[in-house]
Each structure stands twice: as C-alpha cells, then as structure tokens.
Homo-oligomer: A and B are copies of this chain.
Amino acid sequence: MITDITSIDNAPLTGECLEKLDAYWRAANYLSVGQLYLCDNPLLEEPLKIEHLKKMQLGHWGTTPGQNFIYTHLNRIINRYDLNMLYISGPGHGGPAVAAGTYLEGTYSEVYPEVSQDRAGMKNLFKRFSFPGGVSSHASPQTPGSMHEGGELGYSLSHAFGAVLDNPDLIAACVVGDGEAETGPLATAWHSNKFLNPLTDGAVLPILHLNGYKISNPTVLARIPHIELEQLFHGYGYFPLFVEGSDPAIMHQAMAAALEQAVHFLKQIKYNAIEHPGQERPKWPMIILNSPKGWTGPKVVDGKQIEGTFRSHQIPLTVSESSPESHLQMLESWMKSYRPGELFDTNGCLKKEIAEIAPKGNRRMGANAHTNGGLLLRELILPDFQRYAFNVNCPGIMGEGDVHVTGRFLRDVTLLNPQNFRVFGPDETVSNKLEAIFETTSRQWNADININDEYLAPKGRVMEMLSEHQCEGWLEGYLLTGRHGLFNCYEAFIHIVDSMFNQHAKWLKMTREIPWRRKIASLNILLTSTVWRQDHNGFTHQDPGFIDHVINKKSEIVRVYLPPDSNCLLSVMAHCLGSKHYVNVMVAGKHPSPQWLSMDEAVVHCSRGIGVWDWASNDQDCDPDIVMACCGDVPTLETLAAVSILREHFPDLKIRVVNVVDLLKLERQSSHPHGLNDHDFDALFTVDKPVIFAFHGYPWLIHRLTYNRTNNNNIHVRGYKEEGTITTSFDMTVLNEMDRFHLVMDVIDRLPHLGSKGLYLKQNLMDKLVEHKQYINMNGEDMPEIKNWRWKA
C-alpha cells in the first residue's frame, strides 16, 4: 500500500499555485477565443475593431474551455509526479484547446517556427485556425501531441488503450466527450479495462467531459441521475472521481484533488501488480468533469442564454459588420475578462512565472514521442518467411488452408517481437485458422479465467473482443504509437470499420505531408472466411466489398493483395508486415485448397504482383486466342479448372493464364504507384483478344480499374454479384456464374471459330450444371468430379 486514498487533501492547491493555474487556464482560453475571432491585434493592444476580426468566424467554443482546464491541470500533475503522459482529445472539436495548450508549452512553435511565442506568432496562430488551407477545428495530425483525429467521433478510448499496451510507464489521459460517449464504439470501449495488464501495460485515465450538450441536443449521460452515472461507471469497472461545478476557484481545487487521487490510484495499481502479482483485475480510476459548455464565455447574447447551453457549441457570439455593435464590445470584454495583460508580456510571450505550470522537454504532452510514433518505431524482426513454405512439387496439390500455413509464420513473428507486435481479432483468431499463434502466446485477458478456457492469460500478444471497432481502434492506437500489428477479420464484417479505416487512411495521407511527422508501421488487415466459403453462415456473411471501399482512398496509402495460395500469402504477409505507412488489405482463404506455386515461384510472382502462369498456358510461342485472368483463390481454382476443360476439348486453342496478386497492378501507373504502364498491361492482356477475368470480389471493380486500358472492351469479368446462400464453395461460384463451366461457356461465346464443337460443349456444360443442381439438392455436397478435380498439366 502506497498511501491511503482518503488521506489525500481535497484542496491540495496553495493560493499561489491556484493563482498560477488559473492564469495558465485563462491564457489558454484567451488564445482559444483569439483563434475563433481574430486575424489581427492579437494582444488587444488597441481597441478592438471589426477589421481585426476574421470575416468567416468558424470553429467550436463549447468544449474548449473545459479542455483547456483539463490540459492545464494535467500539466500540473505531470510536473508534480514526473509523469509520462499523452493527451487524447475525444470531443469532436477541441481544436482551439489543443493548439492553445501546445502553443503555451512551446511545442507548437517548435514544429511551426512561424507561430512563435510572441506577438507575430500569436497572430499567425489565430489566423491559421479554421482558415482556408489552415488548421482544422479539432485535434488533427497538424497538432503536435495529437495521435488522434477528433473529426469522426467514438474512437478516443480504443486509441488510448491501444497506445498504452506494452508501454508500462505511459499514461494516456483521454478526454471523452459526452456526445462521443453516445457512439457505439465508445460505449463498448470502456470494457477495454478487462484486457489491460497493469504490470506490462500503461494506464488510461479517462476523463469524461460532461459538457451537457452536443450540437443542439443535451447528452444522454448529462441527463441521467447522478446515481445512475455512478453505477454505470462502477459497472464498467472504474472508480469515478467527480469534479462538478462552475466556480473556477472551487473547480481548480476539486480537479487538482481528483488528479491527485487518480495518480495515487494508478500508482497503487502498479505497486500491487508488482508486489502482489496474480491479483484480480484492478478498478481503474476515471474522472467525470461536469462543467458548463462554453464555460467563461458569453453568458447571454441577444436575450438568449449561451454559457451552459448548446448555443455555445460553435461561435457563441457573432461579430460582423451586420451584427449589433454591442457584440464587438462583448467580444472585447470577454477576451479582456481573461486579463491578457497579466498573462503575456509586451512582446506577447507568456510570463515566465505562469509558464512554469508547463512540464519541461519531452514531458510536455505536445512533445510526447508516443504521439509521433514513427520516432519510436523499431523495425519488426521477421523470420525468413520462405522457411514456412508449403511444399508444392506440382501445381494443384491439396493444401492445408492458406491462412493456416501463414499462422506458423505469424507465431514466430510474435515470438521474435515480444514487445512491439500484436495480433487483433474479434474472437476469430482460431476460427480464422491462426491458432498456431497460441503455441507461443495467449490472448490477453484480465477478467476472470475459468478452468475450461483456452489460451487466456493476463499477458498475451493476441487481443480479442467481439467488436471490430475495438480491434481496429486498439490496433490503430498501437500503430500510432510506433508499434506493429495485424487485424484478422471475417471478410464480410470488416465493413463494420469502414469509417474507421477512412479516418486512419486520411490520417496517413495527411501525416505523410507533414515534415515533422514520422512514418509509422502499416495497418495490416487480413480478411478471411471469405464470401466463397460460408458453409453454414450464408448470405449475411458474404460481402467482398471492402476492397471497393479501400481503393477510394489515396493511392499512396492503400494496397490490396489477393494471394492465390499459401506460398503467395506468406510472401505477401512478410512484405506487408515490413512496410510502412500503408493500409495493406490481404484477402486469403482458410480452408484447404489447391496449391499452385513453389516458394521460389511464389516469391517471383508476388514481387511482380501479376504475371502469366506459363505452366498453365500454352501460348508460349504465339499470340494467345484467349486470356484467362484470375484474382483470388477460388477464382484461380475455377479458372484453372476451366482451362483444363478447354485444353482437353480444344488442344489447339492458345490460352494464356494471368494471375493477379497485387490488385492495383491493374490501375494505370498514373493512378497508382503499383500500376502497370500501358505497354506492360497490353503485353499481358493483349490489345485485342478476349479476356475472361474471374475475380474474388464484385466484378465491376475490375472494370473500374481497367476502363482506360487499350483492351478494356474485351474484358469480361465474373465475380460475386450478390447471390448466395448456405451452400458449398463450388455452388457459390455457380450461383454467381463464376464457376469453371460458365467460364468455359464465356470463352465459347467469344470465340465463334470454335464452331459446332464449341456449341456442343456448351450444351454439355449446361447439362452439367443441371446435374450439379440435382446432385447437390439430393446429397448436400458437390459431385465427386467437382470435389476430386485436380489440375493436370
């Protein structure tokens, strides 16, 4: 026991300290209002005039003073206990606050020298805010100390927990907006405390900011009885510390006391974890700060209450040429209420005695290296993936599940990187056939463990919760703080995090353009349990459209791979894990399926990303009559089966088989860095021959990628067209007309010179499809000739 929590003073601030804190807070508030309104006269050295104001007044005041209050108090507690703390701004729009906080501590000026700590710099700080091409109204990549974009809501707490995994000394102070708290992802993220290991991970200090209102509604959590709020957070497994009121003097003491308590709690938890290992999950502290929205801002404007209401959400007071003259005076009085003359010297620099509140050097939250994770990034130690090769002595031999093979590689990646690599998944790591990972580690779990559980331990490298949001959010937090990881997910349900992917891809795009930001490890997503294999899940589990979603984002950021077999997946996985600042989407099967390439061939094929499979083609010494292209494991199988039928019936037909691993090879070079130039594309797909393309996903995606290629009018694509049910993989291809028989018929339709022999075969194949339907309806499984088909050269 370190100390008795009840012994903590509930008014820990001396008069002088309270004065200083309040001055620091006022300075932050002053700078925040300045950002919203001013483009000149930053120190109000002359009477405020309309021409000192921005013409477009945009931004968000409501959450800002509360966040300034929090940031100021965190500064104090960091200094007092020498804490390694970062700040996450969950509420949508605390932009002015994080800019003000980092400006006051000096970190803002260090990355933006033009925003210096003087009059000229302050003017720049004000002007660039919510100005075309400037700084947005929320914490963003542009803000030093930010590892979390405040644009879309709901992910702050998942990011915070991801950040502190394997960072035992780190505290993520995470401000959760009460609006944000209504989102689903945030509502479940509170449960992250059942996973955190107090010995090997850091701590999250959630600060629920009960600001009372969203844009125009009250918030749910601000309108339930105090007792329910308390019960809710006790139920979530926290110990809530309340700081409630509006009188600054009282609130300063209360907030300081709450932070003292929280830090003592955290130290106690750490102490217990070391001294009494194996104890039950601790109750983590959290703070509930209930303060008025738009605190210290205009109380009443034009007869309407502003402070403490939704009306203070954005610009609480409009000041323009057309607004009442009194508004200009109100603004000036408001800004002067912070007594800038007491805060800044005549050059506009924060006075030294007030500046002492800020921590020093890297203890400043804006300078915490974890928020610019690339600074801390260590290269992943990758074993030689070729050692895990599946032995393919001839094409077509049966594999053991492509993901399954890669599981052994991932097991060893986990083993070799015990501090900075984790695997995330929504209860599907075993279902997705990655169970080899559990030979070397467990799922991290800090709730109760029972005798019949498997692979659970307080410390482990696998994070599983039945929430794709949590998996994605944790992983993003982990990556953003300079580590590596993999998210494995059922293909259909990755859409649950479409919007999170959007925000992360935008973050990567923006940070790529900011010189002081360092590159981080790629977000690696392995999609399996795919559309074509949903034996007992059926239609609801069939959606290959995440790829479509992903490639709308910037081409510098997104990569999509569909390895056709185990050795290719190994090669792709190793490549992706070693890459930086991308989102890599890998789509692969988990069920045993035919294998095509030896490891050597796979390495060559994957490094090219696309290529002719010579061993399956017979156009080596001439132009092909037809190109059979395929992308994805099931389409590859059906294509090769179709090729074997064609070669049996038309031995003279010249067929070229092209396989695509790296989907974006199909784009033009000008559209994507991986894109083939037209010459190479034409060399593969010809300029005038029919191309039958079997694709894993929605067929029109291939058209969208190839619409401007020479031969585009001859490309005929088969893929998933939203037909499905509970059935076999082969029957799924039949339902979507991507099966071998349809592919052959597509060829016949496009090659009239096959004549009556072609038509005869087509009729045969149509009969075969009828026979298939009858057989499967009777037996519930595929005909032996389908099940037992193997490629013969």
Task: List residues of chain B with CB within 8 A of the CB of A669.
Answer: none
Which of A114-122, A214-222, A395-403, A591-599 is near enough to bind chain B? A214-222
The yes or no answer to A230 lying at the interface (CB within 8 A) is yes
Residue-wise interface mask of A (731-771) relative to B, using a CB-CB cutoff of 8 A (1 in contact, 0 not): 10000000000000000000000000000000000000000
Please judge, given known A-B contacts A217-B443, A234-B235, whether A58 and B536 are in contact too, CB under 8 Å: yes
Please judge, given known A-B contacts A58-B536, A540-B136, whether A234 and B228 are in contact too, CB under 8 Å: yes
A190 CB to nearest chain B CB (Å)? 8
Which of A336-344, A355-363, A680-688, A777-785 is near enough to bind chain B? A777-785
The yes or no answer to A146 lying at the interface (CB within 8 A) is no
Task: List residues of chain B with CB within 8 A of the CB of A445.
Answer: 217-218
Complex formed: what's the CA distance from A536 to B215 in Å? 14
The yes or no answer to A59 lying at the interface (CB within 8 A) is yes
Is A726's CB under 8 angstroms from B217's CB?
no
* Contact partner, A231, options B235, B453, B495, B708, Cβ 8 Å: B235
Complex formed: what's the CA distance from A154 to B465 in Å? 13
Complex formed: what's the CA distance from A554 to B723 in Å? 9
Contact residues, A220-260 vs B (CB, 8 A): 220, 223-224, 228-237
Among residues of B, the one whose C-beta sits closest to the C-beta of A545 is B552
Is A506's CB under 8 angstroms from B539's CB?
yes
Which of A267-275, A426-434, A582-590, A606-614 is near enough to bind chain B? A426-434
Complex formed: what's the CA distance from A464 to B219 in Å? 10
Among residues of B, the one whose C-beta sits closest to the C-beta of A542 is B506
* Contact partner, A216, options B55, B234, B430, B707, Cβ 8 Å: B430
Task: List residues of chain B with CB within 8 A of the CB of A234.
Answer: 228, 231-232, 235
Task: List residues of chain B with CB within 8 A of the CB of A790.
Answer: none
Task: List residues of chain B with CB within 8 A of the CB of A548.
Answer: 548-549, 552
* Contact partner, A780, options B132, B539, B704, Cβ 8 Å: B132
Among residues of B, the one whose C-beta sits closest to the C-beta of A304 is B452
Task: List residues of chain B with CB within 8 A of the CB of A454.
Answer: 216, 310
Please judge, given known A-B contacts A499-B496, A539-B506, whether A309 and B466 are in contact too, CB under 8 Å: no
Q: Is the interface of A mostly helix, strand, loop or mixed?
A: loop
Residue-wise interface mask of A (418-432) relative to B, using a CB-CB cutoff of 8 A (1 in contact, 0 not): 000000000111110
Task: List residues of chain B with CB within 8 A of the CB of A131.
Answer: 726, 780
Is B152's CB under 8 angstroms from A492's CB?
yes
The yes or no answer to A417 lying at the interface (CB within 8 A) is no
Task: List residues of chain B with CB within 8 A of the CB of A712.
Answer: 707, 712-713
A728 CB to nearest chain B CB (Å)? 6
The yes or no answer to A574 lying at the interface (CB within 8 A) is no
The yes or no answer to A334 lying at the interface (CB within 8 A) is no
Among residues of B, the one whose C-beta sits closest to the C-beta of A448 is B223
Complex formed: what's the CA distance from A344 to B636 in Å? 50
Which of A178-186, A621-629, A645-653 is near enough to bind chain B? A178-186
Is B56's CB under 8 angstroms from A781's CB?
yes
The yes or no answer to A41 lying at the interface (CB within 8 A) is no
A17 CB to nearest chain B CB (Å)? 34
Complex formed: what's the CA distance from A464 to B220 in Å? 11
The yes or no answer to A138 lying at the interface (CB within 8 A) is yes
Is A456's CB under 8 angstroms from B218's CB?
yes
Task: List residues of chain B with CB within 8 A of the CB of A722.
Answer: 506, 509, 552-554
Task: List residues of chain B with CB within 8 A of the CB of A39.
Answer: 780
Among residues of B, the one whose C-beta sits closest to the C-beta of A499 is B495
Query: Which 4 A-B residue pairings sit nearest by Cβ, starting from the closest?
Result: A151-B540, A232-B235, A184-B184, A58-B536
Report 25 cross-chain contacts, Cβ distance below 8 Å, ordered by A residue. A56-B781, A132-B725, A132-B731, A132-B776, A135-B726, A136-B726, A140-B540, A149-B540, A151-B541, A184-B470, A216-B429, A217-B466, A218-B456, A220-B465, A224-B447, A224-B448, A228-B234, A228-B235, A231-B231, A232-B232, A311-B452, A495-B499, A498-B498, A549-B549, A700-B704
Known: A498-B498, A506-B722. 4 other contacts (CB 8 A): A132-B726, A182-B470, A215-B427, A217-B464
